[in-house]
A and B are shown apart, each in its own frame.
Chain A
Amino acid sequence: MSSIAQYLLNGLMQGTIYGLVAIGFTIFFGVMNVIKFSHGDVLTFGAFGGLVAAWVATALGFPIWLELVFVIVAAVMASAVIGAVIAQGLVLPLKDAPPLNMLLMTMMVGTAIRECIRLFFPNGTNPQKFPELLPSGGFDLSGIYFRYDGLILIAAGIAFIFLVQWIINRTRLGLAIRAVAEDGETARTMGINFTLTVVIAFAIGSMTAGVAGALYGLYYSEINYGMGLILAIIGFSAAIVGGLGNIWGAIIGGYLFAGLQTAVVAFLPALSDYKNVIALIVVVALIAWRPTGLLAERGSERV
């Protein structure tokens, strides 16, 4: 019983991270119809930004709660800035290019970020230890052990998901983003600054990666330069399986993927090395079954 609850908590944590990554993919796709594959490496960049912030905070002797805030803000800002730079400098100029070029370009941007971290971050080839800033320990509830840090992180992640969803659906800025996503030309004639809106949307999407990166670092206490690649693939497939362009779909996709992984680890421990392989096979099968995702964007195909 308790072990199942343990798996469940772990799966919830992973699902929150995957969901956050998938939301980014969905926002980029909704706004510009692009797959920004550098998203995973933006996440890595954010996590390393948070790590540097932690070093600075330790050097300045900040109290631990301030250090925590500092780390998360730094991670979010780092990824938001780099996301905005990529949108302004690379995605917007190529917006009329064929999808393959765009996909390849963002992959190459991701590779460039990954390689830069590996080559230029001090000792970047090796995994980096992420400081443990959350209260360790936990409490026992009828035989189930809850880790404080896990609960806090899951709550923070879900809170951020709701924040993004609120920004998109309830604010004027969100209205502008949705207008651009619906029809860029018309949005322009309505007086919406197209470029600025796209860049802000990319910054918001990248912030989710920054939060996911900080959560990852705080939960696993270790980050490395290559962690973004697999997270990008998982986040991408989660976004597709839920239906690209749909925020709730992305979140469902993220938890579904984590659920599949957890199920493999819990019920087929012999195959736990292959948990990503098995989860992705199931996801690809789901995609083959429903090519536009579980919660499909409504609309018909133009010929």
Chain B
Amino acid sequence: MTMISMKGTAGQIISSILVTVFLAGSLIAILEIEDQRELGICVAVIAVLSFIMPRLGILRSAEQAGAHHPWAVRSIILIGFFSVLLILRDNNFALLMIATILIYATVCLGITIQTGYAGLFNFAGAAFLGTGGYTAAMLGNVTWLPDAVTIILGGIIAAALGTLLILPVLRTRGHYAALTTLAFGVLFNGFLEANELLGGPQGLKVPGIQMFGWDFSNDLAIGSYTFSFYANYVLLIGAIFAVFMMFTRFVERSWIGIWLDAVRLDEIAASVFGLKVSVWKSFAFIAGNFLAGVMGAVYAKMTAFIAPANFTFGDSLLLVAIVLLGGIGNRWGVLIATMIVILLPEKLQFIQEYRLLLFSCVIIMLLMVRPAGLLARRVRVFEELR
């Protein structure tokens, strides 16, 4: 008996190592290969492998490892993360891409809480990201304010701005609620372009981060290794992402997640059982926008410059598309979908110009063929087999 369970555990751990190595390897390969033909072959190989992996049961097994041995899996992911960082340490572009992926993935986690768990539409993800960014830009001149506070304020102001939308979102339903966020997402841009104080179409400069007595624009030296200064940001963003990932996991696995599911699936039934529907909808909406705002502030500080063109309605649509592609409500699916959506157009130059067209066609096809997304969220299992 012990033998079998040991074997099960070992199998799960090995699968999670395999999945981590596969993801890290794919990431490094795509980021490092420059030649367009080699890159095409590489992407094709990764696509074939990711088609085979779930069929061998590796993915399922790794998933169970995550449920049964969370800390073991977390350490494996952490080792994988640091290995990627070490290998790509002097590649500015690659580190910037990793940071961007993590930022977008965090915003999509927020949308996952809103749309995936609570069933609220949010077509203004980029606007909330931008709110955080502009907060950081406006607070950039206030030197006495620690940057950690600025970043958290970015989240708080995004969440506060979101609360203005809560009343119409709660009063209305479905299509009507969608309009509210939609209008906000489009108008945000128009507002920024017209507003002189916020830099108009030219945008604003943002000072970099100084935290723990350390200037993030310096290269990082650990032992005999020198890391590009982007590594500072990747580490910070990675830490924030990890915290929010665990927060989302907590939300999903706690009673809150079950309440949110109830609210999403049947509002009236949920309220009959004594759930305060409006409270939990507001919670999901505020939490999701907070995540976006925090990352917006970090994003602005990392790129040192923001303009309205970074936060268009097209970007909001892209965020929703990522959530859908990853499987609505699936946290890890979001990360993988973000990698695909951000990385491929950036590296495969021939699709760069056609990016939006391509994604819109892919999403249309996906909605027709596989509406639950690439990695669909699994139905809750309350009692796992022992």
Contacts and interface: CB of A to CB of B under 8 A. Distances in A.
Contact of A119 (B167, B175, B357): B357
A276 B187 contact: yes
Most buried by B among A99, A103, A240, A274: A103
Q: How large is the interface on B (under 10, 10 to 19, 20 to 34, 35 or more residues)?
A: 35 or more
A124 to B, nearest CB: 12
A152 interface: no
Interface in B97-147: 115, 121, 123
A291 B171 contact: yes
B176 A240 contact: yes
A119 B364 contact: no
Shortest 8 CB-CB distances between A and B: which pairs? A273-B194, A115-B357, A288-B168, A108-B360, A111-B360, A112-B360, A291-B172, A108-B363
A244 interface: yes
A291 B123 CA distance: 19
B178 interface: yes
Nearest to A35: B175
B173 interface: yes
Contacts of A107: 123, 317
Nearest to B358: A115
Contacts of B317: 107-108, 111
Interface stretch (A13-21, A68-76, A155-163, A229-237): A229-237
A229 B168 CA distance: 22
Contact of A303 (B167, B187, B268): B268
A107 B178 CA distance: 12
A9 to B, nearest CB: 25
B363 A104 contact: yes
Contacts of A233: 179, 182-183, 186
A101 interface: yes
B179 A288 contact: no
A105 B367 contact: yes
B175 A99 contact: yes
A237 B179 contact: yes
Interface string A232-267: 010011001000100000000000000000000000
A111 B176 contact: no
Contacts of B367: 94, 97, 101, 104-105, 108
B165 to A, nearest CB: 8
A94 B366 CA distance: 12
B353 interface: yes
Contact of B174 (A99, A115, A274): A99
Nearest to B363: A108
A287 B371 contact: no
Interface residues of A, number: 40
A119 B354 contact: yes
A63 interface: no
A107 B320 CA distance: 11
Interface in B317-342: 317, 320-321, 324
Contacts of B171: 287-288, 291
Given A112-B364, A233-B182, A100 B176 contact: no
A277 interface: yes
A242 to B, nearest CB: 13
Contacts of B320: 104
Interface in B166-209: 167-168, 171-176, 178-180, 182-183, 186-187, 190-191, 194
B179 A104 contact: no
Contacts of A108: 317, 321, 359-361, 363-364, 367
Given A103-B175, A291-B173, A229 B186 contact: yes
Main secondary structure of the interface of A (DSSP, over half): helix
Contacts of A284: 168, 179-180, 183
A196 interface: no
22 contacts: A90-B368, A99-B174, A100-B115, A103-B175, A105-B363, A108-B317, A108-B359, A108-B367, A109-B360, A111-B356, A111-B357, A112-B357, A112-B361, A115-B354, A115-B360, A229-B186, A233-B186, A277-B190, A280-B183, A284-B183, A287-B168, A303-B268
A116 interface: yes
A284 B168 CA distance: 7
A93 interface: yes
Contacts of B353: 119
Specify which of A94, A97, A119, A284 lies most central, judged by the most chain B CB atoms within 10 Å of its CB.
A284
Interface string A65-107: 0000000000000000000000000100110011111011101
B314 interface: yes
B313 interface: yes
A112 B321 CA distance: 13
Contact of A277 (B168, B187, B356, B357): B187
B90 to A, nearest CB: 36
Contacts of A283: 183
A115 B356 contact: yes
B144 to A, nearest CB: 33
B359 to A, nearest CB: 8
Contact of B190 (A94, A99, A276): A276
A287 B173 contact: no
A229 B357 CA distance: 15
Nearest to A113: B360
Contacts of B313: 229
Nearest to A105: B367
A32 to B, nearest CB: 12
B341 to A, nearest CB: 13
Interface string A261-296: 000000000000110110010011101100100000
Contacts of B178: 35, 100, 103
A103 B314 CA distance: 15
